[in-house]
Structure 1
Amino acid sequence: MSEERRGYLYGFTACAIWGFFPIYFKLLRPASAFEILAHRVLWSVLFVAMLLAVMRNWRFLGRILRTPRLLGGVVVVALLIGVNWGTYIYGVNSSRVVETALGYFITPLFVVLLGVTVLRERLRLWQGVAVGVGTLAVGILAIDYGRLPYIALTLAASFGCYSLVKKRMSLPPAEGLFVESAVLAVPALAYLTWLNLSDGAEFGHLSLTHTALMIFSGVATAIPLLLFASAANRVPLVELGILQYVAPILQLACGVLLFHEPMPPARLAGFGLVWVALMIFTVDGIRGARAAARNRAAAVVIEPPAAALPAH
């Protein structure tokens, strides 16, 4: 199997795991979203710490501790991913799986908005059209829900901002997940201590299967992230972006087909507009990537030959 095909396999597997997360988190009920989140954080820290111990890779901690700006970035991304994870778990276990899927559908459009407003990037024509259609879709869905789809918007905003800050930090996936989870581990441990002292904890009080599933949440968090990182090293960026739609498609299928969440005509129309926006966004991205590749090829042609460079 070629490296690129292996990359597609890793990427699809990661997105498929994320796509079936609604089934997994529903199995963790009746534990509350906060209790599930706290356990997810703690077991993620322990699992990734074991991986790093096997790899004997702890030098990155010194670099983070010696760089105040990097340390501050770690705290920010930890808070953002904590909000994202907590909102997702709450959405799934309050029977709003369809809305959580919407959040991950509109995330690419939100990232474009961040690029324009925060990074001062130039908005291409078709990107603007995609964002406009996506905004109209959110408006229609807000009318259908009778409120703003705040779970979807929170997921898109938190993950979009997380991606923006994380990109500037340049931490490998395992190391990044460890430090982010480590920052959240202190409040998570404090919360679980209080929960146990007040006899409100479900962990360890229901069944061996439930306890094992709570512990396994750390592995379930880390494995798809590491698989996706491996895919990112082997698959072109545009194709990787298209692969990411697999997860919300499967989440939507779980919500409608498995959990029988309602999908009235207005809501279906709103989702239809979101998919139109994503099609426009994806086609524009493919065209942009091809144009950039042609420009790079042209630049190579007009560069002086390697023999003209000084040899050492």
Structure 2
Amino acid sequence: MEPGVLYALVAFITWGLYPLYWKQLNGIPDMQLAMHRIVWSFVLLSIVMTFKRQWTEFYRGIKSWRILGLYTMSSIFIFTNWYLLVWAINAGYIVETSLGVFINPLINVMFGVLIFKEKLFPWQWVSVALVCSGVVVCAVAYGKLPWIALTMAITFALYGLIKKQAPLSALHGMTLETIILLLPALVYLIYVECKGTGAFGHVSALMDCLLIGGGVVTIYPLLCFAAAAQLIPLSLLGILQYIQPTLQFLLGILAYGEPLSMFQLIGFILVWAALVTYTVDGLVRSRRDHKEVISVQTPVSEASDVPFTRVEQAV
């Protein structure tokens, strides 16, 4: 198996199995869980930065108010996403969180159209129409707007939008984000400790280990994802990413017995149809573009000698 594919699988399977991990901590207040994620993520990133001797380069890269401003905004969006995830899992909304992850790629597409004035091809417009229809059906089925799914999808899309403009590497960017969030997290945890409601050190050794491990399960898949993005085509990465919400959806239904009406299922089917349509259209378009490049670069007399595997690798 290619290392890039392996990194991607580790990242998406870890995220997909998040409910199994955070459900073990459902007796701890959600805000404390989110704050512990920040603190222990910072500890892990500090170890990685020290091991890789990256601190000097890191300090050189952040000497700009623009960079600090960009990463302050991205840290707010990622914290919102982190907090909402652990709250939703422990409140019994695993299925709805999976919907948020399913629609996130198409929220990115909408941002591209609205913000960057990108043009969509006909089948891409079909995908957008299908996902909008799916959200409307889910809203009717739930009796309310699926705000958890939409908030998770939009905050992560905004996070990605800011990161697209940010100049730091994935490791340095994550380190700066946790540094920005670290002081508020420490202040909050010290406050609840002084109030006598702090969980760390007062429940059990297992809970303490799980809280510390929250930093590992937060940062390790992010590092794997960053490595995968550098090693495999984005089209393949885009297909593999659906492992995460699929696992979450199945866990919500099969492991935790969350309700799913036929009407809700229809909404999910419309979203899945949108993803399939968009993904297939992207793969066909990518393959066609690469074939056109190869046909231009390869003389006609040699075209029949190009091995199929080389074309596949190019795609």
- Spell out the pairing of 1:216-227 with structure 2 (5 A cutoff): 216-227=213-224
Q: Equivalents in 1 of 2:193, 2:237: separation in Å?
A: 42
**Which of 172, 176, 179 is matched with 1:175 structurally?**
172
Determine if the alignment matches structure 1 residue 189 to structure 2 residue 186.
Answer: yes
Q: Equivalents in 2 of 1:280, 1:60: separation in Å?
A: 43
Identify the residue that residue 99 of structure 2 maps to in structure 1.
Answer: 102
Determine if the alignment matches structure 1 residue 141 to structure 2 residue 138.
Answer: yes
Q: Equivalents in 1 of 2:117, 2:282: separation in Å?
A: 18
Q: Structure 1: state its 5+ residue gaps.
A: 303-312
Identify the residue that residue 68 of structure 1 maps to in structure 2.
Answer: 65
Q: Secondary structure at the match of 2:202?
A: coil
Identify the residue that residue 201 of structure 2 maps to in structure 1.
Answer: 204
Contact 1:11 1:243 in 2 (8 A): yes
Contact 2:131 2:274 in 1 (8 A): yes
Determine if the alignment matches structure 1 residue 294 to structure 2 residue 291.
Answer: yes
Identify the residue that residue 255 of structure 2 maps to in structure 1.
Answer: 258
Q: Could you list the per-position Cα deviations for residues 159-189 of structure 1 after superposition, in whole angstroms to 9, with x for gaps in the alignment? A: 0111111011143222221111111111111
Determine if the alignment matches structure 1 residue 273 to structure 2 residue 270.
Answer: yes
Identify the residue that residue 30 of structure 1 maps to in structure 2.
Answer: 27
Determine if the alignment matches structure 1 residue 246 to structure 2 residue 243.
Answer: yes
Identify the residue that residue 306 of structure 1 maps to in structure 2.
Answer: none
Q: Equivalents in 1 of 2:130, 2:264: separation in Å?
A: 15
Contact 1:173 1:226 in 2 (8 A): yes
Identify the residue that residue 89 of structure 1 maps to in structure 2.
Answer: 86
TM-score calculated relative to the size of structure 1: 0.92
- Offset at residue 140 of structure 1 (A): 0.6
RMSD: 1.5
Determine if the alignment matches structure 1 residue 153 to structure 2 residue 163.
Answer: no
- Offset at residue 219 of structure 1 (A): 1.0
Q: Equivalents in 1 of 2:57, 2:143: separation in Å?
A: 48
- Offset at residue 6 of structure 1 (A): 2.0
Q: Equivalents in 2 of 1:68, 1:294: separation in Å?
A: 45
- Offset at residue 301 of structure 1 (A): 5.6
**Which of 5, 9, 12 is matched with 2:6 structurally?**
9
Q: Could you list the per-position Cα deviations for residues 61-113 of structure 1 after superposition, in whole angstroms to 9, with x for gaps in the alignment? A: 33443222211111111011001111111110100000000000000010000
Q: Equivalents in 1 of 2:268, 2:148: separation in Å?
A: 15
Q: Equivalents in 1 of 2:69, 2:4: separation in Å?
A: 32
Identify the residue that residue 129 of structure 1 maps to in structure 2.
Answer: 126
Determine if the alignment matches structure 1 residue 165 to structure 2 residue 162.
Answer: yes
Q: Equivalents in 2 of 1:148, 1:60: separation in Å?
A: 45
- Offset at residue 299 of structure 1 (A): 5.8
Q: Equivalents in 2 of 1:237, 1:218: separation in Å?
A: 27
**Matched-pair identity in %:** 37
Q: Equivalents in 2 of 1:297, 1:58: separation in Å?
A: 43
Q: Equivalents in 1 of 2:146, 2:3: separation in Å?
A: 37
- Offset at residue 295 of structure 1 (A): 4.3
Q: Could you list the per-position Cα deviations for residues 127-163 of structure 1 after superposition, in whole angstroms to 9, with x for gaps in the alignment? A: 1110111001100100111110100000000001111
Q: Structure 2: state its 5+ residue gaps.
A: 300-315
Q: Could you list the per-position Cα deviations for residues 20-45 of structure 1 after superposition, in whole angstroms to 9, with x for gaps in the alignment? A: 00110111121111100000000000
Q: Equivalents in 1 of 2:124, 2:242: separation in Å?
A: 17
Q: Could you list the per-position Cα deviations for residues 252-300 of structure 1 after superposition, in whole angstroms to 9, with x for gaps in the alignment? A: 1110011000011011111111100100010111122223323443564
Identify the residue that residue 305 of structure 2 maps to in structure 1.
Answer: none
Q: Could you list the per-position Cα deviations for residues 232-269 of structure 1 after superposition, in whole angstroms to 9, with x for gaps in the alignment? A: 22211101100000000000111001100001101111
Q: Equivalents in 1 of 2:137, 2:14: separation in Å?
A: 30
- Offset at residue 200 of structure 1 (A): 1.7
Q: Equivalents in 2 of 1:116, 1:67: separation in Å?
A: 30
Contact 2:92 2:258 in 1 (8 A): yes
Determine if the alignment matches structure 1 residue 80 to structure 2 residue 77.
Answer: yes
Q: Secondary structure at the match of 1:122?
A: coil
Q: Equivalents in 2 of 1:174, 1:10: separation in Å?
A: 15
TM-score calculated relative to the size of structure 2: 0.91
Q: Equivalents in 2 of 1:259, 1:162: separation in Å?
A: 30
Q: Secondary structure at the match of 1:203?
A: coil
Contact 1:30 1:202 in 2 (8 A): no
